[in-house]
Amino acid sequence: MTLSLFSGWVDAHKDQIIAETQAVLRIPSVNEPESIGPGAPFGKPCADALEHTLALCASLGMRTENFGGYAGHAEFGPEDAPEMVAMLGHLDVVPLGSGWTREPWGAEIDGDWVYARGASDDKGPTFAALFGAKAVLDSGLPLTRKIRLIFGCDEESGWECMRHYFDVAKQAKPDLAFTPDAGFPLYYAEKGSFTLTATRPIGDSLVAVFSSGLRPNMVPDEAEVVLIGSADRLGYIAKTLKRKQTFKVTDEGDKALRIWAKGKASHGASPQKGINAAKKLAEALFDLFAEPWLSELVERCATDGSGIGIAGKDEITGPLTCNVGIVSVLDGTLSMTFNVRYPATWDDSVLTRAQASLTDTGWTIAELHHTPPLYVPQDAEPVKTLLKVYRGHTGDMTKPHTMGGRTYATTVSPNGVAFGAGMKGDPDVAHRPDEKFSIERLLFCANVYADALYQLANVSR
C-alpha cells in the first residue's frame, strides 16, 4: 500500500477519528415522523445527527450551514473560488428490523469491527471523508477549488434532503463530487429509480388487516395479517398453517385470527436476494381461501418488474429490479409500494408503462417519486482522478462498476459518482442486523478520501 500525502495526519489522529465515528453512530438517526418539528423535518434523531456533525466540523475549523434540518454543509478553501468539490454523505439510517445480536446504537468495537446501524451505510464512510477533509485542511496545501462536505438526512426515505438543498435552498451543484455510499473502485452509472404507491379496493374479504414492510427500499422480513370470519373457517386455517413452521398463528378471541410470517430482509436494489414476507404470506393465504386479490398481490411482487409490466435490461446496468417494500390492507383497501430500479440508458417512459399497468386494472396511483439515472463516461472527471487515487493506494486495477442502487451522485449528475467504501469480499451488512464497519477500512478511507478531495480540488479539466 502506498503512503499518501495524508497518511501521517491520519495515523496521528486515529483515536479521534474512531471516537468521533462512534459518537455519531450512537445517535439513532432513523426517520421518525412522531418527532417532526421546526428544524427537524425527519424527526429529532436525524436533526440531532446533523447538528452534531456540523458542530464537529465547525470545531475543526470549517464554515458550516444547516438548511432547516434537511441537509447541511461544511466548507473550507478559497471562499471566492468559482468552482467547488464536494463529498455527499447521508446521516440518516434505515430502521433496525429484527435479528440484532449487538446493541445497534452502542458502536461497540470488537476486534477490527465497529457495530451499529449506519456503521457502513453511511456514517462510517461519511466520517472517513470528514476526517479526510480535515487532513487536507490541516496540510495547508493550496486549493484551486473550495471543498464542501454535504450531509443529508433523508437518503433512506424520500430524498427530500437533497431536493431541499438544491431546489429550495438553491445551493450550487458541485463541479466535481463523490459520495462514499457504495463501493470501490467507483460506480460510473446508476440505474434510474422510482417509488410508486398504488391502491385498490379488495371487496369482501376474510382479511381485515394486512401489514408488512417498513421502507420502500427494504425487502420486508415480516408480515402480519388479521382474519375475521366464522370460527369454523378460521379453525381450519389455523390448523393448516400451524403445520408450516414459518407461520405463527394466534387466536384473537372469538372470530379473529392473527398470522405472522417471516421472510428475509435485503436491500431494495437486490430484492431477489431476500424473501418478501408479504408475498409469502399472501401465497399461503391464497392457498387457503382463493380471494383473487391475493394472487394479484403475489404476481405484482415479481422482483424483475414483470408484475407491473416493465421487465427488461440494458448492456451497461443490467436488468430492472422491483421491490415491493410496503404492503397493507386497511378498511378494505390494498396498498402496495413499489421501489423500481431501471437500466441507466432507459428514458422515463418506464414510469408511464408501470402506471398504466396498474390504472388499467382499477388501481389508483397514490404517490410517485422519480430519480433519473446517472451516467458518467469513464474518460471524464471525476472518474479519471478518483480511479487514479484508488489505484495509487491499492494497486487494484479492477474496472469501475455500475449499480442498481442509487446514491446522492444522481443529484449532481453528471459531475459526481459513488466512490467507496465497500470492497470485494466485504460481508453484506447494509440494511441488515449487526451492521458493522471495519476500523482498518475507516482509516484507509480517510486517507483515500483526503487524497481524492485534494486531487479533485486541483485537477485541471
Residues designated catalytic = 92, 155
Q: Which is nearer to Zn ion, 157 or 355 (CB)?
A: 157
- What type of residue sits at position 237? I
Closest distance of CB 193 from Zn ion, Å: 13
181 near Zn ion, rule: CB under 5 A: yes
Q: 336 vs 403, which CB is nearer to Zn ion?
A: 403
- Size of residue set near Zn ion by CB under 5 A: 3
Of 121 and 190, CB closest to Zn ion: 121
Residues 186/390, Cβ–Cβ less than 8 Å: yes
* Cross-strand partners of 108: 115
DSSP letter, residue 185: S
Told to check if 92 binds Zn ion by CB under 5 A, we report no
Interface with Zn ion by CB under 5 A: which range of 31-39, 179-187, 220-228, 365-373? 179-187
Tell me how far, at minimum, the Cβ of 156 lies from Zn ion, in Å: 7
Residue 307 or 420 with smaller CB distance to Zn ion: 420
At closest approach, how far in Å is the CB of 182 from Zn ion? 8
Q: Which of 387, 338, 388, 346 is nearest to 366 (CA)?
A: 338
Beta carbon of residue 129, minimum distance to Zn ion (angstroms, whole number): 13
> Coil, strand, or helix at residue 268?
coil
Q: How far is the CB of 405 from Zn ion (least distance, A)?
A: 8
Q: Is 190 in the site for Zn ion (CB under 5 A)?
A: no
**Binding test (CB under 5 A) with Zn ion, winner from 122, 175, 222, 451:** 122
The span of 120-128, 211-219, 274-282, 380-388 binding Zn ion (CB under 5 A) equals: 120-128
Nearer to Zn ion, 20 or 154 (CB): 154
d(CA 133, CA 337): 39
Angle at 102 between CA 34 and CA 447, to 5 degrees: 90
Question: Which conformational region is residue 404 in: left (phi greater than 0), alpha (psi within -120 to 50 degrees), or beta?
Answer: alpha
d(CA 50, CA 40): 10
Q: Which is nearer to Zn ion, 121 or 296 (CB)?
A: 121
Judged by CB under 5 A, the residue of 20, 75, 121, 296 near Zn ion is: 121
Nearer to Zn ion, 149 or 259 (CB): 149
Cβ at position 152, least distance to Zn ion in Å: 10
Stretch that binds Zn ion, among 122-130, 238-246, 347-355, 437-445 (CB under 5 A): 122-130
Which region, judged by CB under 5 A, interacts with Zn ion, from 176-184, 335-343, 385-393, 433-441? 176-184
- Cα–Cα dist 11/453, whole Å: 18
Q: Collapse the DSSP code of 281 into the 3-class scheme (helix H, G, I; strand E, B; otherwise coil) and give the result.
A: helix
- Cα 66 vs. chain centroid, distance in angstroms? 22
What does the block give as the cell for 258?
Answer: 392473527
With contacts defined by CB under 5 A, name the span among 40-48, 123-131, 181-189, 273-281 that binds Zn ion. Answer: 181-189
Give dist(CA 348, CA 329) in Å, integer: 30
What lies within 8 Å, CB to CB, of 378 at 6+ separation is: 188, 400
Q: Which range binds Zn ion by CB under 5 A, 180-188, 304-312, 391-399, 437-445?
A: 180-188
Q: How far apart are CA 149 and CA 86, in angstroms?
A: 6
Beta-carbon neighbour count of residue 292 at 10 Å? 10
CB-based contact 138:70 (threshold 8 Å):
no
Minimum distance from residue 373 beta carbon to Zn ion (Å): 18
Which residue, 181 or 222, is less far from Zn ion as judged by CB? 181
Give Cβ neighbours of residue 293 (< 8 Å, ≥ 6 apart): 200, 202, 203, 205, 334
- In whole angstroms, give the CA distance from residue 429 to residue 441: 14
Give least dist CB 263 to Zn ion, A: 22
Question: Coil, strand or helix: which one is 379?
Answer: coil
Q: Assess contact for 271 and 303: CB atoms under 8 A.
A: yes
Contacts with Zn ion, residue ranges (CB under 5 A): 121-122, 181
